[in-house]
Amino acid sequence: MHAATPYDDLTPDLLLDALEACGQRVDGRLLTLNSYENRVFQVGLDSGEMVVAKFYRPGRWTDEQILEEHAFALELAAAEVPVVPPLLLDHDIAPSATVSGRPPTLGHFSGHRLAVSPRKGGRTPELEDPDVLSWLGRLLARLHTVGARQPFEHRVRLDSQTLGWQARQWLLDHKAIPLDQASNWLSVSQQALELVDAAFERIDGLRWRRVHGDCHPGNVLWTPEGPHFVDLDDAGMGPAVQDLWMLLSGDPSERRRQLDAVLDGYESIAEFDWRELQLIEPLRTLRLIHHSAWLARRWADPAFPAAFPWFESGSYWQQQADLLRQQIDLMQPDDRPPIMQGADDWLD
């Protein structure tokens, strides 16, 4: 049942029983939050406070990988980096923590795995404001400073193999691309990934560290006290620029201004390897390919056909091939020094 419809049995009663087993005294208030990968709920407590309960998608991460994500969040919080860490649970519902020696933050209940965190709201940051971008740059530098202390042992490496070649191979093996579009998309994606590999190879001594992994504006919430990061579900080993490029949008001149502001803040805290700017377009390419594979892998979940009805159409795959061709043009190497190669849109 879990493989096809992983949340069919996740009724309100089961959900509230799971929270009670975690040591939370619930009052019945329940709100479903927007999430496709996992199921996330805001739950009211007898105290009047609210918590957020995340039920993890079966089969995506191992217990050790989830606990390693939780440990990173707790480490960041201890270093006063503003994140929302998981709450500690009763050992009875968190048996894997007892085995691993990690804090008991991952609960097991009726075939589901869950984590509970305090509710901390906020709004999307105003990314057109250079002061906001500079603040986010400082926070990311602090996050990366903690992330550089030690590597992940169990979580994934955010590289072309994991996000690109493996995703492409899954789509090929599972015949997920419409037959009339398969040859076109597979050819273009191979060309694009070969250029991604070349871009990474050009940076000698590229530094990999623990990063947020999915630092788009929706995963940064702003409050009167400032911003905080949420959702470390995609945390992995990656270059620092992995957490910067998704904050940038607009035309090339706008992106340059935004990047200048982010890096002004970042470099007031930590050194940034400017060679990594060469990886912005390769990382964007990997996200395009990975997103298509993510949709295909989740297609048996009824939430996905309802939310993405265009996914199986030929026009979607034609559009993706066109986007990859644009990325191929942007990733072409040139004769300038390595720090400048592929950086027309990012460096003055």
Q: What is the CA radius of gyration of the chain?
A: 21
Ranges of residues in the chain with a pLDDT under 70 are: 1-4, 91, 97-99, 334-348
Alpha-carbon span 257 to 223, nearest angstrom? 24
Residues 35 and 140 in one domain: no
- The active-site residue, picked from 159, 231, 233, 243, is 231
The predicted structure's pLDDT at residue 93: 77
Q: Is 122 exposed, middle or buried (0-12, 13-18, 19+ CB in 10 A)?
A: middle
Q: First CA to last CA across the chain, in angstroms? A: 54
Whether 326 is covered by a domain: the verdict is yes
Phi, psi for 251 (deg, rounded to 5) = -80, 170
Tokens 């990173």 appear where?
A: 72
Q: Give the chain's domain count.
A: 2
CATH classification of the domain holding 217: 1.10.510.10
Whether 124 is covered by a domain: the verdict is no
**124, 226 contact by CB (below 8 A):** no
The predicted structure's pLDDT at residue 341: 45
Residues 165 and 293 in one domain: yes
The predicted structure's pLDDT at residue 94: 76
CATH classification of the domain holding 25: 3.30.200.70
Whether 4 is covered by a domain: the verdict is no
Q: What tokens does 107 get?
A: 């609960």
Residues 304 and 186 in one domain: yes
Whether 336 is covered by a domain: the verdict is no
Q: What 8-state DSSP symbol labels residue 28?
A: E
Is 17 catalytic? The answer is no
Residues 190 and 266 in one domain: yes
List b or e across 85-115, with b for residues whose CB sees 16 or more CB atoms inside 10 angstroms: bbbbbeeebbebbeebebbbbbbbbeebbbb
Phi, psi for 245 (deg, rounded to 5) = -70, -30
Phi, psi for 226 (deg, rounded to 5) = 120, -170
Residues 81 and 30 in one domain: yes
Cα 281–chain centre separation: 17
The predicted structure's pLDDT at residue 211: 98
Domain end among 98, 118, 138: 118
Residues 143 and 203 in one domain: yes
Residues 98 and 155 in one domain: no
The predicted structure's pLDDT at residue 98: 67
Whether 268 is covered by a domain: the verdict is yes
Cα 144–chain centre separation: 15
Is 231 catalytic? The answer is yes
Whether 337 is covered by a domain: the verdict is no
The pTM for the full model equals 0.92
Q: Show the CA angle centred on residue 308, arms to residues 305 and 309, nearest 5°.
A: 65
Across-strand partners of 31?
42
Show the domain range for 271.
Answer: 130-330
Alpha-carbon span 345 to 260, nearest angstrom? 12
Residues 85 and 138 in one domain: no
Other beta carbons less than 10 A from residue 303's beta carbon: 15
Residues 143 and 287 in one domain: yes
Q: Which amino acid is at 306?
A: A
Residues 289 and 165 in one domain: yes
- The active-site residue, picked from 63, 214, 233, 301, is 214
Residues 209 and 313 in one domain: yes
Domain end among 59, 86, 118: 118
Tokens 């990063």 appear where?
A: 211
Whether 338 is covered by a domain: the verdict is no
Residues 94 and 160 in one domain: no
Whether 341 is covered by a domain: the verdict is no
